[in-house]
Amino acid sequence: MKKLWLLTMFLSWGALIVHGQNNLSQETKSYVVHEKGLYVLQNLTVVDGTGGLPKYNQDIIIDGNIIKSIGVDLEIPKEAIAIDMKGKSAIPGLIMLHEHLFYPKATPDRRFGVNQMSYSFPKLYLAGGVTTMRTAGSIMPQADLNLKKAINKGTLPGPKMDVTSPFLDREGTGLIELGTFESSEQAVNAVNFYADIGITSFKVYNYISKTDLKAICDAAHQRNLKVTGHLCSITYKEAADIGIDNLEHGFYASSDFVKNKIENECMPMDMRKSLLELPENSKEMTDLINYLVEKKVALTSTINVFEPYTGREVVPGGGLNALYTEAKEKVYNRWINKQGRDSLDYVMFNKSKIWEKAFYDAGGLLVAGTDPTYDGRIVAGYANMRLVELFVEMGFSIPETVKICTLNGATYLEQVDSIGTLTSNKIADLVILNEDISKDISAIRSIEIVFKNGIGYNSKKLFEAAKGVVGIR
């Protein structure tokens, strides 16, 4: 039995602890279980994000916003608050690199496509264990930047944010909410404008030219900012040669295998056909994977976006009740109508899992994101938990899965010195699970507390706050 100092007490995990003052608004405090202080979290199973084996009976000492130490039977500092967490587990805070703060409208007219989710999505991301996120394309960049500032000040709860530019594209997508440029010079002007107002990364889209991409990459790299892309008109190999930092959606957006592809032209049906026809173990894909690894281009898996309908959840991760009535009806009706008609989705889904794991196994930097767009099934927070589960379905071990969703994201963001693993002297960003994730990845759905910067947030309360409003706010 560990000796406890007189001021140390065992507390129920749901108890509110007032320990030190923080510059948090009353709204933010309403979701806080543990304010910033000195804590010893005892007897945890830890999957630390390094990819190494789980560690058992671990104590974690949190001092302010820093992890002071981790180990077995640590000496409890005087005046620390000790909490026995036997049976629970801990992982680093999730670092997700393809997130959005908008959601598709429940209207039939696709030209008016999305609504900003400034109220619900920051809460849901944090509830789902996400402590750092990249928006990977903004619709309302000023709103995203204002949210980032409010979260950093403690005015609102939510993850730390790398705010990405609006989608940089030429005309073609058709959504009213997406702006377009007409020349590479305009694209460069956009890069500089958004960088000046606080944007920290850039997203290129379907219809740009190679000349556009080079101009955007050059302008962004001059500011030490990175460029990612959801491509169509440009092949992955072409983008790697130009200098893109990151490619989105695994290999779903790769036009490298289109026969007689027209330069700088987006040919989506040909692209899908080429990927369906490409053998899983083709030399062509292996060569592309090796080329991307050589060029040090990161690849974002958003495999949850493409999860087939038949036999799977209506909203992956269990978030159907987060949707407001009309959004729920739209999503549910689409799900019903797709039952038994998604055989080609299964083919692409299974191929993509194989190709993404091959990229990782070849030494590529595979990162994670959920992309809450498309048909409305992808809901912040819930989707992040489901994505973690899907990595194990793809063939990754549980420690590898956690690494992809934590350390790999920190590596891409160049923040490995401060976040990404449960390591002494790093920021106290960690997720406490009520079940043992080292034994079953579905324990990711048992999140109890999310520590961000040493402050513990009540996951269940955050989820409840957004119940029934996704799609309207």
pLDDT digits (tens, 9 = 90+) for 272-295: 999 999 999 999 999 999 999 999
C-alpha distance from residue 190 to each of 31, 150, 187, 203, 451 (Å): 38, 25, 5, 11, 36
Q: Residue 441 contacts by C-beta under 8 Å, 6 or more apart in sequence?
A: 388, 389, 391, 392, 398, 401
Q: Tell me, what DSSP letter sits at residue 80?
A: P
Res. 430: pLDDT tops 50: yes
Lowest mean pLDDT among 6-10, 88-92, 239-243, 282-286: 6-10
295-302 mean pLDDT:
98
383-415 residue pLDDT tens: 999 999 999 999 999 999 999 999 999 999 999
Lookup: tokens for 183 = 């020349």
* CA separation for the pair 93, 432 (Å, rounded): 9
* CA separation for the pair 52, 403 (Å, rounded): 9
Res. 157: pLDDT tops 90: yes
The pTM score is 0.94
Q: Residue 74 contacts by C-beta under 8 Å, 6 or more apart in sequence?
A: 40, 59, 61
pLDDT band at 7 (very low <50, low <70, confident <90, very high): very low
H or E segment and range at residue 204: strand 201-204
313-343 residue pLDDT tens: 999 999 999 999 999 999 999 999 998 888 9
Structural domains of the chain, count = 1
Res. 373: pLDDT tops 90: no
* CA separation for the pair 29, 174 (Å, rounded): 42
135-149 residue pLDDT tens: 999 999 999 999 999
Residues 376-413 as b/e (b if ≥16 CB within 10 A, e otherwise) read bbbbbbbbbbbbbbbbbebebebbbbbbbbbbbbbbbb
pLDDT band at 13 (very low <50, low <70, confident <90, very high): very low
- Quote the domain boundaries for residue 95: 1-473
CB count within 10 Å of CB 290 equals 15
C-alpha distance from residue 301 to each of 114, 221, 455 (Å): 22, 23, 29
Lookup: tokens for 194 = 């958004």
Res. 10: pLDDT tops 90: no
Q: Tell me, what DSSP letter sits at residue 386?
A: H
**Residue 375, pLDDT score:** 86
pLDDT band at 4 (very low <50, low <70, confident <90, very high): very low
**Residue 251, pLDDT score:** 98
Residue with tokens 């002071």: 68
68-101 residue pLDDT tens: 999 999 999 999 999 999 999 999 999 999 999 9
pLDDT band at 18 (very low <50, low <70, confident <90, very high): very low
Amino acid, res. 69: S
* CA separation for the pair 348, 165 (Å, rounded): 29
Q: Residue 7 contacts by C-beta under 8 Å, 6 or more apart in sequence?
A: 78, 79, 80
**CATH value at residue 370:** 3.20.20.140
Res. 8: pLDDT tops 60: no
pLDDT band at 108 (very low <50, low <70, confident <90, very high): low
Output the 3-class SS for 128-195. Answer: CCEEEEECCCECCHHHHHHHHHHHHHCCCCCCEEECEEEEECCCCCCCCCCCCCCCHHHHHHHHHHHH
Lookup: tokens for 198 = 């606080």
C-alpha distance from residue 366 to each of 101, 154, 201 (Å): 22, 31, 18
268-275 mean pLDDT:
98
Crossing angle (nearest 10°) for helices 210-222 and 184-196: 30
**Residue 170, pLDDT score:** 97
Q: Would you give the distance in Å from CA 215 to the centre of its chain?
A: 27
How much is the mean pLDDT over the chain?
A: 94
Res. 22: pLDDT tops 70: no
Res. 422: pLDDT tops 70: yes
Residue with tokens 């402050």: 455
Res. 15: pLDDT tops 90: no
pLDDT band at 113 (very low <50, low <70, confident <90, very high): confident
Amino acid, res. 97: L
